[in-house]
Amino acid sequence: MAATVLLALVSMAMIWSRFRQRQKINRKLKEINETKSRFFANISHEFRTPLTLLAGPLEIMMAGNREDDRQLLQMMYRNVNRLLLLNNQLMDLSRLESGALKLKLRKGNIVPALKGMALSFDSLAGQREITYKAVFHDEELICFFDEDKLEKIVYNLLSNAFKFTPDKGSIDFEVRRTSRKGGNGSVVESLEIMVTDTGKGIPAEHLPLIFDRFYQADNHLNREFEGTGLGLAITHELVEMHLGAIRVASEPGKSTKFTVTLPLDPKSYPPESFITAEESDDEGCLKENDPMSAHYPPGEKMGVKGTEAAEQENDPEKPVILIVEDNADMRVYIRSALGDDFHFIEAPDGEKGYNKAIEDIPGLIITDLMMPNTDGVQLCEMVKSDERTSHIPVIMLTALATVEHRIRGLETGADDYITKPFHREELKTRCNNLIAQRRMLHEKYRKGLVTEPGEISVTSADERFLKKLLNTLENHISNPELDVDLLIREVGMSRSQLHKKLKALTGLSTTEFVRNYRLKRAATLLRGNYGNVADVCYAVGFNSLSYFTRCFHELYGIAPSGYKTK
């Protein structure tokens, strides 16, 4: 009996163990699937932006506008290289998985090769005012190395450093020979490559995972930097292919240091790794974020026409458009697509975009969905819930074309939604339509056809603002001293914010808005036989009958006495 019970318990324990193992496997499979799903969503976003920046300039050039052809060609050049990079990363990953990517070692002086790789980042450092130092402790270091794979390692590490280092930061690239005693007392020499930056750093919990394929420390829509999660994973595997090691040390908010150690002794490598001078190497792929291709064509510097509303003609009639987009090329393309009919201000992320919207009160906001710090959805929520900016129409741009993302964008109050890659004429038409709708409301208000806040705006924040403003006017309408300063105190805005807000909602300045409100109330009193024209004039806060009569005639096309008797 005891043996039977024991056997049953053992059997149950085995079943339970297999069940737990299956649960663990299922969890692992789910994690892998989620990681791959995030990767493919990100890679889709990575492809859509350069495709937009290729398709758009081609459309402009085919339309026959040759004035900016060189600038557009440079933009296309950079984005062709971005697509090649993404493609090459996927190819490298496939070849690594299949074992088709082999080490091909040649003998030579590695120092000039490394100097050339480091030198190609000088112009980028100069543009961004980054202190960039490349230190080589040896002028000659003869060894066997695979130049193509070494380039990919160095470019990926330096590109990451430049990507995460803010302007006016610092980056150090150092190369030296190291030696240590081996197990049998011999001296083992290695090549050590160090890349140190003063960027945002990597949290300690992410350090063990950053070399995993598809891994990204930030997978949210507002992830701060573009990328696929492949660069460091491929770098790690290429270093291991060299039988070397890669280490990372980081202090969040201060610095990150990558150290690559490669063996110099040819005996460390298997015989099949060495190639003869006659053998060719067909692996000349672009490196991740090669600065010579990701930013400018070799020897060229792109002449962008003012990235911050620069050199714009001071025409107050032109609508102001705020472009919030973290990709500088995309901002340039949007400006070129919309032409000279607008003034432009720009911001590289949602947080800065919101501050610009508060400061400048633009007539329209065009924002990307996926951005660092504050994404497009969060920006839209902030803009639409703030009384100072709630009236501003928002167009959302995104590479995420799913219905769920469209709905999420529209639910935040976005007025329109455009999927990348988009046609420039479509963007221009939608901008013009939204601005035209706002102008129609201005006309209705000027003609006295709009009398309630709800008729002027579709957002609850606008209704709250206008009701507060109208209540203030109603409470002080007979006071001749009612002025802009009193309204500023009541609504809690600066003079310029109140002016721009009212101008956007009604087409009227603050002074005009107050005067028109007094005149509309006067018209109501005249129709209701409140008293004679003088009584009405003083009841609505005018202290000059002649001025009241002139203003009333300008608005209604008839004198107050005639309006009273008609």
- Kindly state the helix (H) or strand (E) to which residue 518 belongs, with its residue range: helix 510-527
Domain count, the chain: 3
Both 141 and 290 in a single domain? yes
Both 149 and 267 in a single domain? yes
- Residue 559 inside a domain? The answer is yes
- Residue 394 inside a domain? The answer is yes
Query: Of 414, 444, 474, which one is at a domain's C-terminal end?
Result: 444
Check whether the bond before 421 is cis (ω within 30° of 0): yes
Q: What pLDDT score does 460 carry? A: 64
Both 487 and 541 in a single domain? yes
Both 356 and 474 in a single domain? no
Rounded distance, CA 165 to CA 368, Å? 23
Query: Of 421, 444, 467, which one is at a domain's C-terminal end?
Result: 444
Rounded distance, CA 104 to CA 146, Å? 5
pLDDT above 90: percentage of residues in the chain: 14
- Residue 303 inside a domain? The answer is no
Burial class (CB in 10 A: 0-12, 13-18, 19+), 436: exposed
- Residue 64 inside a domain? The answer is no
Rounded mean pLDDT, 38-62? 65
- Residue 429 inside a domain? The answer is yes
517 torsion bin: left (phi>0), alpha (psi -120 to 50), beta (else): alpha
Largest CA distance in the chain: 116
The contacts of residue 300 (CB under 8 Å, 6+ apart) are 74
Q: What pLDDT score does 221 carry? A: 41
The domain that holds 182 is classified in CATH as 3.30.565.10
Say which residue the tokens 């939608």 belong to: 430
The domain that holds 430 is classified in CATH as 3.40.50.2300
- Residue 48 inside a domain? The answer is no
Query: Of 429, 444, 459, which one is at a domain's C-terminal end?
Result: 444
User: The domain containing residue 502 runs over which residues?
Assistant: 450-565
> What tokens appear for 212 in the block?
């995993």
Residues facing 245 on adjacent strands? 261
In 447-544, beta strands by DSSP E: none
List, for residues 196-251, the tens digit of each pLDDT value.
999 888 888 888 888 876 555 554 444 444 445 577 888 888 898 888 999 999 98
Q: What pLDDT score does 40 carry? A: 52
- Residue 366 inside a domain? The answer is yes
Query: If we measure between CA atoms, which residue out of 352, 383, 349 comes closest to residue 369?
Result: 349
Both 403 and 360 in a single domain? yes
169 contacts 202 by C-beta, under 8 angstroms: no
Rounded distance, CA 242 to CA 149, Å? 9
Both 205 and 222 in a single domain? yes
In 278-332, beta strands by DSSP E: 320-324
- Residue 61 inside a domain? The answer is no
List, for residues 413-464, the tens digit of each pLDDT value.
788 888 777 778 888 889 998 888 877 776 665 555 444 444 444 456 777 7
The domain that holds 506 is classified in CATH as 1.10.10.60
Q: What pLDDT score does 466 carry? A: 77
Lowest model confidence (mean pLDDT) among 107-111, 293-297, 435-439, 560-564: 293-297
Amino acid at 295: H
79 contacts 50 by C-beta, under 8 angstroms: yes
pTM recorded for the entire structure? 0.55
Query: If we measure between CA atoms, which residue out of 42, 39, 38, 46 comes closest to residue 421?
Result: 46
